[in-house]
Structure 1
Amino acid sequence: MPLPFTPGGLIFDCDGTLADTMPLHYQAWRATLDRVGHPTLFTEEQFYAWAGAPAYEIL
């Protein structure tokens, strides 16, 4: 999408510093696990305890 101006810089929030994306990540994990037949693989509390861990470690 073209911008009507040239930005002077960009901010990337990759770790949730500016935006709390953990609830969205949890919803995405839940939807995926539910779809593949693992609706109770881990609890929401466990998910938040793993904050910052790479997906391959969680799996």
Structure 2
Amino acid sequence: MAKPLSASKLVEILRAEGLTVHEVRNWRTHNRNSKGPWGPVNGVMIHHTVTKGT
């Protein structure tokens, strides 16, 4: 498995690829269930649902 990414490293990589990153206040220090710090990340999955007519 790849080395886990910190929040700072994830942003650095995305910006290095030319992406615009908009950060939400405190996202680097909060996880989604409020039980400790964010990360580390072992991967990123992007899901896009296409509907008829799009």
What is the TM-score of this pair, normalised by structure 2?
0.34
What is the TM-score of this pair, normalised by structure 1?
0.32
Structure with larger RCO (C-alpha < 8 A, sep 6+) = 2
